[in-house]
Chain A
């Protein structure tokens, strides 16, 4: 079964840094885009950004550009989401998901998300 296994929950203080992970298994990890999705407490889903592990091509939603960094290590089939200085408003559950895509005339089109991790809960509190 294709899987994305996410790292465990984190409790941090404002201003601290954090890097959470998402490890893929039972498929060719480097050949599929991985997206990160935020869900704040009691709120909806927000698409943060996406990375293609094979060449680390990365795109961010305008709302998250400059706020987080998405990276990947294809040798370990792992994608990462990191913060350099956490804020209380970063408290949320973060999901990684395999985002199916296609390439046509120089543009990637992101179709749908077919495999999801169970989520990593991040709590930022002083």
Chain B
């Protein structure tokens, strides 16, 4: 069971939009709409940002949005702000009744 593939880093200027991809297989991302995204600051616990591909928990800014096409899910951050600089991880349910994280993406605000 391999980790989902994410770009190691993505950067953007304040106000811009960035998109982080999360590529899996038909046994995880492509097979189920149970993809979630987590934000993690250094030294802190992860925080849920998106669940079930495109839903935002209460209190999460609408600048964060999620989508999926085939075996690839995506997280888009619009109107990039300095506070968005963090690590982001995707996660998916798998066909062997477990869960798997992505490799993680470091977002830098230029």
List chain A positions with a Cβ less than 8 A from chain B: 35, 37, 44-47, 49-50, 59-63, 95, 97, 99-100, 107-114, 116-119
Contact = CB atoms under 8 A, between A and B. Distances in A.
Contacts, number: 78
A44 B45 contact: no
A112 B89 contact: no
B30 interface: no
26 contacts: A35-B99, A37-B101, A44-B87, A44-B102, A47-B100, A47-B101, A50-B99, A61-B100, A62-B1, A63-B1, A99-B99, A100-B51, A109-B34, A109-B93, A110-B98, A111-B34, A111-B36, A112-B34, A112-B51, A112-B91, A113-B38, A113-B91, A114-B48, A114-B57, A116-B47, A118-B45
Interface residues of B, number: 27
Interface of B: 1, 3, 32, 34, 36, 38, 40, 45-48, 51-52, 57, 87, 89, 91, 93, 96-104
B34 A116 contact: no
Contacts of A62: 1, 96, 98
A111 B93 CA distance: 7
B57 to A, nearest CB: 7
Nearest to A65: B98
